[in-house]
Amino acid sequence: MRSLAVQKLGIIAGLAAAVALVGGLALSSGASAQTPTVRVGSLTIGLGQEGTVEMEALDIGAPGLGAWTIDVVYDPAVARVVDCTAQHGGICNAAYAENTVRVTGVDIFGLEGDITFASITFACESVGTTSLVPTLRVFADATLGYPQDIRASTATEDGSVTCTEEPQPTPTPAGLPGDANCDGNVNSIDAALVLQLEADLIDALPCSQNADMNGDGAVNSIDAALILQREAGLLG
């Protein structure tokens, strides 16, 4: 009887240890999970100047983001929107309302990781600061058959536009023009990365500021062609 009782105690202790291990792994997994976040950038410019901020999502997990409609609310007395360019096949309406930019889009395969939704360009109207407040109208994952609303589990971060009396110096892009991957060289690899970005095969470049070869504010196949021309010795 004593031997049987000892065996039972051993089994119970083993089960308890297993439960504790599973529980610890679950807690560890939960602690390491990152909360998806939609945020808008900030900038400071002077009266008569224009500047661009990006609206992006961070840490989007599987099965990825399938549908989004996001409003960015601002104070038109301080700044006005002069341009808005959406990415990933989305649509940006800079004139959705007097004080609101709307960005909407879908991706049936699901976008994961860090995503840039749009670049929004503002011009200063008066001295002051306006918040740029993102509001998630639709934010659903790419679950097949029934996309799930993930707004409740997604955080948002406001941006801002600050307008000053004095013009702000125009930042000079750092690095080597054409060096899209920041490896210190300009070659066909950089051109390939630019084309992958334009085709939405990748979400971002390690050094996007270097990839805009012609300085038009966009990174596309024209920049890829210029990078190849530089590697061939056709450009200085």
Q: Is there a shared CATH topology between the 37-164 domain and the 173-236 domain?
A: no
Helix (H) or strand (E) holding 41: none
> At 4, which helix (H) or strand (E)?
helix 2-32
Residue 180 CA to residue 213 CA, distance in Å, equals 10
User: Where does 173-236 sit in CATH, by number?
Assistant: 1.10.1330.10
Q: What is the pLDDT of residues 67-85, one digit of tens each?
A: 999 999 999 999 999 999 9
The domain ranges of the chain are 1-33, 37-164, 173-236
Beta bridge mates, 157: 39
CA nearest to 65, candidates 151, 157, 139? 139
* Whole-Å CA distances, 125 to 4, 23, 48: 85, 56, 8
Phi and psi torsions of 85, nearest 5°: -120, 120
d(CA 94, CA 60): 25
- Tell me the two tokens of residue 156: 């948002």
Write the class of the CATH domain 37-164.
mainly beta
pLDDT tens for the chain, residues 1 to 236 = 555 444 544 544 444 444 343 344 344 444 345 899 999 999 999 988 999 999 999 999 999 999 999 999 999 999 999 999 999 889 999 999 999 999 999 999 999 999 999 999 999 999 999 999 999 999 999 999 999 999 999 999 999 999 998 776 655 445 788 888 888 888 889 989 999 999 988 888 888 888 888 888 889 999 999 988 888 877 75
The model's pLDDT over 48-73, given as tens digits with 9 standing for 90+, comes to 899 999 999 999 999 999 999 999 99
Tell me how far CA of residue 21 lies from CA of 1, 14, 33, in angstroms.
Answer: 30, 11, 18
Task: Name the token pair of 220.
Answer: 């596309």
The whole-angstrom distance between residue 14's C-alpha and the CA centroid of its chain comes to: 46
Residue located via tokens 């009782």: 5
